[in-house]
Amino acid sequence: MNIYWAKIIETSGARIYGLAAGMVSLFITARLLGPEGRGTLAAVTSWVALFALFSGLSLGQVAQYRIQIRRDEEWLPGLLGMLAASGTVLSAVALLGALLAYVTTGGDFFKGIPPTLLVIGFAMLPFLIGEEYGASLLTAVGLLRVYNIALVIGRTLAVVSVIVLVYFVGLGVRGALVAQVMGQALVAIILLEALRRKARGSLRLELPELVPLIKGAAKLHFNSIGVFFLGQATILMLNHFSSKAEIGWYQLSYQLMTMLLVIPQAASAVLFSKMAEIGPDRLWSDQKKFGLRLLALMLLLLLTAYFAAPIAITWFAGPLFEPCVRIFRLLLPVLFSMSLAVFMTNQWIGRGIFLPTTLLTFATALVNVSLNLYAIPRYGAEGAAWSMLISFVGVSLGVQLIFAVYCERQSRIAASGLPLGLDDRTSERECNG
Give tens-digit pLDDT for 15-73. Answer: 777 777 877 887 788 888 888 888 889 889 989 988 998 999 899 888 888 887 887 77
List CB contacts of 296: < 8 A, sequence separation 6 or more.
none
What does 181-211 look like in DSSP terms, one character per residue?
HHHHHHHHHHHHHHHHHHTTT-----HHHHH
pTM of the model: 0.72
User: What single letter denotes the amino acid at residue 144?
Assistant: L
| Closest among 381, 421, 56 to 213, alpha carbons compared | 56
Task: Note the maximum CA span of the chain.
Answer: 66
| Closest among 101, 12, 23 to 55, alpha carbons compared | 101
Q: Comparing 361 with 40, which gets the higher pLDDT? A: 40
Residue 393: pLDDT band with limits 50, 70, 90: confident
pLDDT at 26: 76
- Cα–Cα distance, 354 to 212 (Å, whole number): 13
List CB contacts of 18: < 8 A, sequence separation 6 or more.
151, 152, 155, 262
pLDDT at 241: 87
- Minimum mean pLDDT range among 17-21, 177-181, 214-218: 17-21
Residues 236-268, buried b or exposed e (16+ Cβ, 10 A)?
bbbbebbebbbbbbbbbbbbbbbbbbbbbbbbb
| Closest among 340, 347, 352 to 283, alpha carbons compared | 347
Give the N- to C-terminal CA distance of the chain in Å, as an integer.
36
| Closest among 260, 110, 122 to 185, alpha carbons compared | 122
- Cα–Cα distance, 129 to 52 (Å, whole number): 6
The domain tally of the chain equals: 1
CA 262 to chain centre: 11
Q: Are 148 and 17 in contact (CB under 8 A)?
A: no
pLDDT single digits (tens) 257-291: 887 888 888 888 888 888 878 888 988 988 888 88
pLDDT single digits (tens) 409-433: 998 888 887 554 434 444 444 444 4
pLDDT at 156: 92
Residue 231: pLDDT band with limits 50, 70, 90: low
Residue 367's domain spans which residues? 2-431
**27, 31, 37, 40 alpha-carbon torsion, rounded to 10°:** 10
- Minimum mean pLDDT range among 22-26, 98-102, 217-221, 338-342: 22-26
Residue 4: pLDDT band with limits 50, 70, 90: low
User: What single letter denotes the amino acid at residue 32?
Assistant: L
- Residues 294-308, mean pLDDT to the nearest whole number: 93
Q: Residue 246: pLDDT above 80?
A: yes
Q: How much of the chain, in percent, has pLDDT values that exceed 90?
A: 37
Tell me the pLDDT of the chain averaged across its residues: 86
- Residues 104-126, mean pLDDT to the nearest whole number: 93
pLDDT at 419: 54
- Cα–Cα distance, 180 to 7 (Å, whole number): 28
CA 325 to chain centre: 24
Task: For residue 396, give the DSSP letter.
Answer: I
